[in-house]
């Protein structure tokens, strides 16, 4: 049996339009669009609204998850995409998030994870 090779994309976007970062409903819609356009499979989307603004939104995927954590006061969002499924779909989701959030700056890191690289403790 082949060991799963997962992709984990971690990114910080800054210089995003504040109106995309304020309300949890915006985050849920961004996740819906991203999942639809990338071909990933959504199980559910949940979010939490912070006061006075900002949100955390998470999509549970059959392949794993996507999360968004926003800071409107800093025009920033931190993104986490993890999937044991298609790397191309994860990359497509990342591209879609860049397109939707329109950041001026992007810092990203891509990790490749394998179950057989875990050691027993």
Q: In a structure prediction context, what are the per-residue pLDDT tens digits for the chain, which is 121 residues long?
A: 555 689 999 999 999 999 999 999 999 999 999 999 999 999 999 999 999 999 999 999 999 999 999 999 999 999 999 999 899 999 999 999 999 999 999 999 999 988 776 544 4
The torsion angles phi and psi of 4, rounded to 5 degrees, stand at -60, 140
What does the alpha-carbon distance between residue 69 and residue 62 come to, in Å, rounded to a whole number? Answer: 21
**Tally of domains in the chain:** 1
Query: Does residue 9 lie in a domain region?
Result: no
What does the alpha-carbon distance between residue 94 and residue 110 come to, in Å, rounded to a whole number? Answer: 11
Query: Does residue 121 lie in a domain region?
Result: no
CATH number at residue 28: 3.60.90.10
Question: Element (H or E) spanning 63, and its range?
Answer: none
Query: Does residue 94 lie in a domain region?
Result: yes
The sign of the dihedral angle between the CA atoms of 68, 24, 22, 103 is positive
Annotation marks residue 42 as catalytic: no
Query: Does residue 4 lie in a domain region?
Result: no
Of 8, 14, 42, 84, which residue is the catalytic one?
84
Query: Does residue 10 lie in a domain region?
Result: no
Nearest by Cα to 27 from 52, 57, 51:
57
Annotation marks residue 64 as catalytic: yes
The domain containing residue 109 runs over which residues? 15-53+66-114
Block residue for tokens 């800054």:
14
The whole-model pTM stands at: 0.91
Annotation marks residue 69 as catalytic: yes
């Amino acid at each position: 049996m082949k060991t799963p090779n997962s992709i984990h994309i971690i990114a910080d976007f800054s210089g995003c339009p504040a109106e995309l970062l304020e309300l949890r409903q915006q985050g849920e819609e961004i996740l819906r669009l991203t999942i639809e356009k990338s071909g990933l499979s959504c199980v559910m989307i949940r979010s939490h609204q912070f006061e006075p603004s900002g949100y955390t939104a998470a999509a549970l995927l059959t392949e794993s998850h996507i999360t968004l954590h926003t800071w409107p006061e800093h025009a920033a969002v931190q993104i986490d995409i993890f999937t044991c499924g298609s790397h191309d779909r994860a990359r497509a989701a990342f591209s879609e998030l860049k397109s939707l959030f329109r950041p001026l700056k992007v810092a990203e890191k891509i990790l490749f994870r394998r179950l057989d690289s875990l050691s027993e403790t």
